[in-house]
Homo-oligomer: A and B are copies of this chain.
Amino acid sequence: MRDSRIVRCTYYIESSIEPEKAAALLAGEQSSGTFLPVPGESERIRVRHAAHVTKIEKLGLRAPSLPSRATSEKVRAALATVEFPMENIGTDLATLQTTVAGNLFELGELYACRLQDIELPEDFINAHQGPAFGIAGTRKLLGGVQGALVGTIIKPNVGLSEDEFRLVVRELALASIDLIKDDELMTDPAYLPLERRVAVAMEEILAAREVTGHHTMYAFNITGDVAGLRRRHDLVVKAGGTCVMLNIPVMGLPALAMLREFSEVAIHGHRAGLAASMRHPGLGVDYKVWQQLARLAGADHLHASGLGSKFYETDEEVSANIRSLLTPLGRTEAVVPVLSSGQNVGTPAPTFQAIGSTDLMMLAGGGVAAHPDGPGAGVRSLRQAWDAAVEGTELRQVAAHYSNRGDTDLLHAVKKFVKDN
């Protein structure tokens, strides 16, 4: 049962002073200043507004994770639970962020400070809309596709001319793919403006649908100036598009929440830049915290890296990311975990084993575009690999089975993309 008036946070901290004192310092800095009393901090204010340290789990001595003004050879590590009165925060996301993940990272007394987990009160969660589409709405926009969703990224990231871009989209849309997305670097450049990209892509997608019957979603990257978000969103809607993409860490959660207010289409949430405040285990904010805020702000799809990716997180960490996305958050719609980087026919099996769900989207770059028999074969091979993963049959066995029946898509994909073990 969530406490209706408390935001409960768990921090990993390191300090040269006793962890209890260090945590109290943090709690004071981020509320009414309990630990170091300030003039005017009345008993009333302390009782009603002070954040409280409710639990300390000591983890022993270790070398400091972060530099500080002072130096310390060994510091005391601990997990500290801090409870913030919701009254200090209200229901505003920016104020929440400032409170639980603001100045505290600067404290010289802390040699590590990481927000590991957050438990938001129902009143806070219920004040936010969450995803408008989520997994159910996205499947509906895709004409009712079942199973894991298969997508890809336009490559090269940048530099395509309008004609080159048209051919790439045509090929992918004709491959009956579920989602095509812009690279996060591709926004609204003069050499291929968003307006032209939207027009061209939607022409090709709607034309391909006449051939394949398949609804392909395109995540148009509308990252850019905040004032122009509406205009860029409207371009997409007017052309019949069903999805816009936002680089959330760059734009900020408040900009995402604003987009959610008026968006008529699904919001594909990219995490470019997130690792800057997440990768070091002694600093910043854990994925399982961040994803809650991004879901409340209204992202329908959220990037979570991918098993076997070229990114830093281990498969265990990526699995934890995905599981956190699949964990219910109040009454909000279920969000779509987006797996990317290094995804191919070899990744569905370990992914399904770790997650046990197909309510996700797998973005494969080379796995689609570089399939020896073309993107259509790439998409089919990925769907077959997902079916095999769900059934629990061995990939090479399934590939051989299809091949014996004259369908070599999976076999060729396995040969090209999956390393022999």
Residues of A at the B interface (CB closer than 8 Å) are 30-33, 38-42, 44-45, 48-49, 65-69, 87-90, 92-95, 97-99, 101-103, 105-110, 155-160, 164, 168, 184-185, 187-191, 223-227, 247, 250-255, 257-258, 261, 272-277, 279-285, 305, 309-315, 365-366, 369-370
Contacts and interface: CB of A to CB of B under 8 A. Distances in A.
Given A92-B188, A106-B312, A156 B272 contact: no
B276 A311 contact: no
Given A105-B276, A254-B255, A185 B98 contact: yes
The 5 closest A-B pairs by CB, nearest first: A252-B252, A49-B159, A45-B159, A102-B272, A105-B275
A97 B106 CA distance: 22
12 contacts: A33-B156, A39-B369, A41-B155, A49-B158, A94-B223, A105-B276, A106-B279, A106-B313, A225-B258, A251-B254, A252-B254, A255-B255
Contacts of A39: 155, 369-370
Contacts of A283: 275-276, 279-280, 283
Nearest to A187: B95
Given A49-B159, A92-B187, A226 B224 contact: no
A247 B253 CA distance: 13
B250 A97 contact: yes
A313 to B, nearest CB: 7
A98 B255 contact: no
Nearest to A261: B227
Given A94-B223, A95-B189, A95-B224, 10 more contacts: A32-B157, A38-B366, A68-B312, A88-B189, A94-B225, A98-B247, A102-B247, A252-B252, A276-B283, A276-B285
Contact of A185 (B30, B155, B313): B30
A254 B250 contact: yes
A101 B279 CA distance: 14
A26 to B, nearest CB: 12
B33 A157 contact: yes
Contact of A67 (B87, B101, B281): B281
Contacts of A31: 157-158, 185
